[in-house]
Structure 1
Amino acid sequence: MKKSFIITLLFFITVSIVVSCEKNDVRMREPQVASLLVPANFPIPVFDTGNPLTKEGIELGRRLFYDKRLSGNNQLSCGSCHKQELAFSDGVALNNIGASGNLLHRSAPTLINLAWANNGLFWDGGSTNLESQAFGPLTSEDEMHQNLFQLNDELMAVPDYVSRFNFIFKDGISSANIVKALAQFQRTLISANSRYDKYIRHETGGTLSASELNGLQLVRQKCQSCHQGDLFTDNDFHNNGIDDDFSNTAFDGIFLGRARVTFNNADLGKFKTPTLRNILLTSPYMHDGRFSTISQVLDHYSDGIKVSATTDPLVKQNPGGLPGISLTPQQKADITAFLHALTDSTFINDTQLAGP
């Protein structure tokens, strides 16, 4: 009896251990939930796209971001036009490395702190979120020119991709899941470790010179109506007076600005406010890259505003509401000095954001 009891007891213990191990193994085989590391001086991001972050999804997105299979001719990746060393911009005014070889009509925007970009993407806000945005460059004839069905087939021919997609998404490889993975990775492109950030957070290395401190105060006084808070953008759309004629409706009305999307004439010439973070790495400037230097940008705001019916009152700061933002040569030099303090060397050298 004792021997039989002991055998029976050992059997149940063994079964319990096996079942427990299987349950733990199941948990280990589930994607690990990931959360964004929100900098202390940043607001909490608000986005709800039905695309929760996972450690594995972010890694898959990183691999896809740098994979040239995503272009129709297998010559371009997202990283071809969004280079980490340039804060994920491309360093040219208008690119022509796309599939058609045609010159694009807008400059490639920098990819920084996109988890907070909840008011439309592209220069005119034509896309509502990162997931839908990705379809634009993927399918554009002048950019990656990829057939999405062919892309699915190409990725299905790679066992590693098949394994990763099946693990992360219930329905495996699909166009929707490709852009979801890309979006997960792009939401981790958080830049918040510049000297300015260390100064604000009272961290080691957060020292600003007298000129930089003067520049910070000038930015707060004269620029932060649009370049707001520690994100240095309001993620909104403004006509900043670089044009006064919007009659050109060629190329799907791309010169109309926000009005191309809203069909509202009050939005003519309005473009999305870019962040000032890493600004000295992301030249040339404006939606069409027309200004090569920060000096030209500051000269525009002080002396080059063109007035139209939709020119933003925020760029009419001179006495009597006249156009322009008064800046002396010394003030321009101080603002430029401060902008240097917004360069985040950690961000552009972070190996977790680099290609695999």
Structure 2
Amino acid sequence: MKNLAFHIAGLSFVLAACHDNPKVEPGSQPYQFEVPANFPAPLENRENPMTKEGIALGRLLFYDVRLSGNNKISCASCHEPKLAFSDGKALGNAGVSGTTLHRHAPALINLAWAGNGLFWDGGSTNLESQAFGPLTAADEMHQDLFELVDELNAVPDYVTRFKVAFNEKITSQSVVKALAQFQRSLVSASSRYDKYRRNEPGGNLSPQELIGWQLVQEKCQGCHAGELFTDHDYHNNGIDADFSNDALEGIFQGRFRVTYKTADIGRFKTPTLRNIALTAPYMHDGRFESLEDVLDHYSEEIKTSPTLDLKLPEKGLKLKEEEKKAIITFLKTLTDQEFITNPEFSRP
């Protein structure tokens, strides 16, 4: 299937056997999740509790090309730490087939707080089921899950690590559980903005940046809400007026592709604004190359349709040039250098 985010919610059943056992496995150490002072509490995950061993295993797997059918592609091939775990491309073609995908690779940021579905259309219910999508998609990693288990079982270190982390033999379910634990550990909360909010050293914002912050609160936080700068919901933000593309399996129909509710036509998941200066290009199809392009869209180029989000005026936000500059200046304060250079997140 030729897209980064196809609907695999049906695969979530494979984790059902884990639901009755929220305890950390013998021999593994619980991971003490440190919630940033300016953040809300993360989502509780009793089915796959984070451990030091599970996260370390997930990190190894995230960078391991064995996860792809041709043993040349890893998760990191499309999610680079220096780009806040995005790939810098509008539509990637790094998959096994070399085919250009129809969806932009999302950044992996603060996923411990991500509820209400994953992928641009919410086609997966959690990080565990989500991982099966890119692992098995023909135009992405195209891995046979039985072959993957055999390959990992041939590595004694992996056999030991899976036993310690999950107290079981290697299975495709434990592979995605480890990947999910690592991804939930990817917390970005040390930007200059965060330090300003927590009154920490290095947390100074200029007058222009403060004006930009006020404008973001007024103009953007209806969707890019709170300290996470996303409401984890789905919105039609006016980038298209026509969503009829049956030949592409409804890729541009957004949330409708999952729910089949007409109110969801053209609605896509709100990405976080954190590290936004690093994750260009923008939108679900990467159509906007720069933040300037994004603001021009919201200011003057809104396209109307029956499902256009009510938070958006049909004639656009009508931002002045100095307001656009102030907003972009503020958005750059959300760049977290500690996050993208954290050795705990880098290639082992």
- The answer, yes or no, to whether TM exceeds 0.5 is yes
Q: How far off is 1:49 after superposition?
A: 5.1
| Map of 2:329 onto structure 1 | 337
1:64 to 61, 65, 69: 61
Question: Does 2:200 align with 1:223?
Answer: no
| Map of 1:353 onto structure 2 | 345
Which of these two proteins has the greater Rg computed from alpha carbons?
Answer: 1
1:134 to 110, 119, 131: 131
Distance (whole Å) between structure 1 residues aligned to residue 303 and residue 292 of structure 2: 18
Question: Does 2:110 align with 1:118?
Answer: no
| Map of 2:169 onto structure 1 | 172
| Map of 2:193 onto structure 1 | 196
The answer (yes or no) to whether the contact 1:258–1:270 under 8 Å persists in 2 is yes
| Map of 1:271 onto structure 2 | 268
| Map of 1:17 onto structure 2 | none
| Map of 1:304 onto structure 2 | 301
1:102-132 Cα deviation digits (max 9, x unpaired): 1100000000000000110000000010000
Cα RMSD of the aligned pairs, angstroms, is 1.2
2:207 to 184, 206, 210: 210
Unaligned runs of 5+ in 1: 1-26, 317-321
Please report the TM-score for the alignment, with normalisation by the length of structure 2.
Answer: 0.92
AA paired with 1:354?
S
AA paired with 2:332?
H
**Within-5 A mapping of 1:228-239:** 228-239=225-236
Q: How far off is 1:87 after superposition?
A: 0.2
Distance (whole Å) between structure 1 residues aligned to residue 46 and residue 258 of structure 2: 21
Unaligned runs of 5+ in 2: 1-23
Distance 1:29 1:124, change over 3 A: closer
Question: Does 2:33 align with 1:41?
Answer: no
AA paired with 2:310?
P
| Map of 2:181 onto structure 1 | 184
Q: Give the length in aligned residue pairs.
A: 325
Distance (whole Å) between structure 1 residues aligned to residue 45 and residue 36 of structure 2: 20
Please report the TM-score for the alignment, with normalisation by the length of structure 1.
Answer: 0.90
The answer (yes or no) to whether the contact 2:25–2:165 under 8 Å persists in 1 is no
Distance (whole Å) between structure 2 residues aligned to residue 35 and residue 143 of structure 1: 33
Distance (whole Å) between structure 1 residues aligned to residue 252 and residue 285 of structure 2: 10
The answer (yes or no) to whether the contact 2:25–2:166 under 8 Å persists in 1 is no
Distance (whole Å) between structure 1 residues aligned to residue 122 and residue 315 of structure 2: 26
Distance (whole Å) between structure 2 residues aligned to residue 40 and residue 28 of structure 1: 29
The answer (yes or no) to whether the contact 1:91–1:283 under 8 Å persists in 2 is yes
1:118-173 Cα deviation digits (max 9, x unpaired): 11000000001000000000000000000000000000000000011111212220
The answer (yes or no) to whether the contact 2:238–2:303 under 8 Å persists in 1 is yes
**Within-5 A mapping of 1:234-249:** 234-249=231-246
The answer (yes or no) to whether the contact 2:62–2:179 under 8 Å persists in 1 is yes
Q: How far off is 1:36 after superposition?
A: 1.5
Distance (whole Å) between structure 2 residues aligned to residue 331 and residue 66 of structure 1: 41
Q: How far off is 1:28 after superposition?
A: 12
| Map of 1:326 onto structure 2 | 318
Distance (whole Å) between structure 2 residues aligned to residue 28 and residue 265 of structure 1: 44
Q: How far off is 1:37 after superposition?
A: 1.2
Distance (whole Å) between structure 2 residues aligned to residue 174 and residue 252 of structure 1: 31
Report the 3-state secondary structure (helix = DSSP H, G, I; strand = E; otherwise coil) of the residue aligned with 2:230: coil
